[in-house]
């Protein structure tokens, strides 16, 4: 398959459009515990020195992206999972100033910020980063957070209709050289204008994780990177899903999409060591109360499931908020990534329990193997 990023003008500044066949990002370093719902002592503690040091390491190691979670409240339990969190626009601004090459994203719940403010903040970060910014658009699902803002919990499809107006306004502010009026079903702007425009032309890239039919159409129309959830046990099903998603974007909207997934990583010298560590932090030290609170807020009715399925879902959530688990040796992990790339995955957002240990192990043993496998170019 030809690389649709090759002709994108944004590749001059933004590594998300670079040459690596398999792109790598690091997820959730702006929230306590990252993505592991655990009380293990080594779980991620959020403070600015920690967030900064991880970004600086990832920048030196050639990763393409730092992606935050838009979070305002935690999920309770002993860990109060994600309860300590940095706001994502200012987090992105700080990391952009401190790094040189890596792409830095903001994750933005559209009901919690006006598009005029979002467009201005995003353009500012794009200038701070010299064109390495991207925007991850989230339509909003966490009711207790929305209630903090006095924002309504909209019906599912209506969230995407609202988000479409929000993006339309943001793009007008990023590109229109004169004032404009906008009158939508949800949003109204009178004499809208913003300067400076973003460095990236026509505008910074967008990411979205729409999963439903409505969500997939939304991502196919607006996003440059679609973040999907896949069944780890059925890669052929993943291949079909990826191909259908790309076909939707191409045929319905005349656009090309990168497809990204999330992956909790546990890398050790032997597979047994890795599996034992997963058992330790998920089963022995997992925060079941926080996990169940999170699933309940998502309206996942665990009591209606077969016990085996419910436990599998709970295990995956505690492991790393779902995603494709990469557990084992460096060879195991690279073999899995080769299979994912072969079915059309362009990028992986990684999450570890201990980010520093994970980065060190990955850089020493996984990154060279990815280069040997042709999935990544050797670092300069």
Lowest mean pLDDT among 113-127, 129-143, 322-336, 348-362: 129-143
Asked whether the beta carbons of 35 and 72 are under 8 A apart, the reply is no
Q: What is the rounded CA–CA span in Å between residue 302 and residue 106? A: 32
**pLDDT tens digits for 82-112?**
999 999 999 999 999 999 999 999 999 999 9
pLDDT band at 299 (very low <50, low <70, confident <90, very high): low
In this structure, are strands 180-183 and 225-227 parallel, antiparallel, or unpaired?
unpaired
Domains and CATH numbers, the chain: 4-372 (3.20.20.30)
- CB burial of 270-280 (b: ≥16 within 10 Å; e: otherwise) equals eeeebeebbee
Residue 2 pLDDT: 46
Closest CA to 111 of 135, 145, 76, 82: 145
Q: How far is CA 287 from CA 16, 137, 280, in A?
A: 34, 28, 12
Instruction: Say which residue, 119 or 307, is predicted with more confidence.
Output: 119
CA 288 to chain centre: 24
> What's this model's pTM, rounded to 2 decimal places?
0.94
224-226-227 Cα angle (round to 5): 140
Asked whether the beta carbons of 265 and 351 are under 8 A apart, the reply is yes
**pLDDT tens digits for 43-91?**
999 999 999 999 999 999 999 999 999 999 999 999 999 999 999 999 9
Tell me the average pLDDT of the chain. Answer: 94
Residue 32 pLDDT: 98
Asked whether the beta carbons of 196 and 125 are under 8 A apart, the reply is no
User: Would you say how long the chain is, in residues?
Assistant: 380
SS3 of 54, please? helix
Residue 3 pLDDT: 61
The first and second tokens of residue 218, run together, are 């939304």
Indicate whether 322 pLDDT > 90: no
Q: What is the rounded CA–CA span in Å between residue 209 and residue 28? A: 15
Indicate whether 146 pLDDT > 90: no
Q: What is the rounded CA–CA span in Å between residue 351 and residue 262? A: 8
Q: What is the rounded CA–CA span in Å between residue 262 and residue 348? A: 6
The first and second tokens of residue 102, run together, are 């890596």
Q: What is the rounded CA–CA span in Å between residue 73 and residue 144? A: 8
Q: How far is CA 309 from CA 37, 199, 303, 312, 320, in A?
A: 18, 47, 11, 5, 17
Q: How far is CA 216 from CA 77, 84, 115, 234, 299, in A?
A: 33, 31, 22, 20, 20
Residue 1 pLDDT: 44
């Amino acid at each position: 398959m030809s690389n649709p990023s090759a002709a994108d003008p944004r590749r001059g500044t933004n590594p998300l459009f670079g040459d690596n066949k398999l792109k790598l990002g690091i997820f959730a370093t702006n929230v306590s515990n990252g993505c592991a719902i655990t009380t293990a002592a080594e779980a991620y503690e959020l403070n600015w020195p920690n967030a900064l040091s991880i970004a600086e390491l990832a920048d030196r190691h050639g990763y393409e992206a730092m992606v935050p979670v838009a979070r305002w409240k935690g999920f309770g339990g002993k860990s109060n999972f994600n309860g300590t969190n940095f706001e994502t626009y200012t987090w992105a601004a700080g990391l952009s100033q401190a790094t040189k090459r890596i792409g830095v994203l903001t994750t933005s719940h559209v009901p919690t910020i006006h598009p005029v403010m979002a467009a201005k903040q995003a353009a500012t970060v794009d200038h701070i980063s010299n064109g390495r910014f991207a925007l991850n658009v989230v339509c909003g699902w966490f009711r207790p957070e929305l209630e903090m803002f006095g924002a309504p919990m909209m019906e599912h499809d209506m969230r995407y209709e609202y988000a479409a107006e929000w993006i339309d306004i943001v793009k007008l502010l990023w590109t229109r050289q004169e004032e404009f009026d906008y009158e939508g079903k949800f949003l109204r702007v009178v004499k809208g204008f913003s300067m400076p425009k973003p460095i990236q032309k026509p505008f910074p890239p967008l990411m979205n994780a729409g999963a439903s039919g409505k969500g997939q159409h939304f991502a196919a129309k607006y996003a440059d990177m679609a973040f999907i959830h896949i069944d780890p046990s059925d890669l052929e099903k993943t291949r079909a899903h990826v191909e259908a998603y790309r076909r939707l974007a191409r045929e319905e909207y005349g656009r090309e999409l990168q497809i990204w997934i999330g992956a909790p990583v546990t890398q050790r010298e032997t597979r047994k060591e890795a599996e034992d560590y997963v058992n330790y932090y998920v089963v022995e030290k997992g925060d079941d109360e926080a996990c169940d609170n999170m699933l309940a807020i998502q309206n996942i009715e665990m009591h209606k499931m077969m016990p085996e399925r419910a436990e599998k879902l709970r295990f995956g959530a505690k492991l790393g908020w779902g995603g494709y688990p990469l557990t084992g040796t460096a060879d195991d992990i690279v073999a899995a990534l080769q299979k994912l790339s072969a079915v059309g995955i362009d990028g992986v957002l990684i999450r570890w329990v201990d980010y520093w240990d994970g980065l060190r192990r990955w850089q020493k043993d996984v990154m060279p193997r990815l280069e040997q496998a042709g999935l990544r170019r050797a670092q300069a």
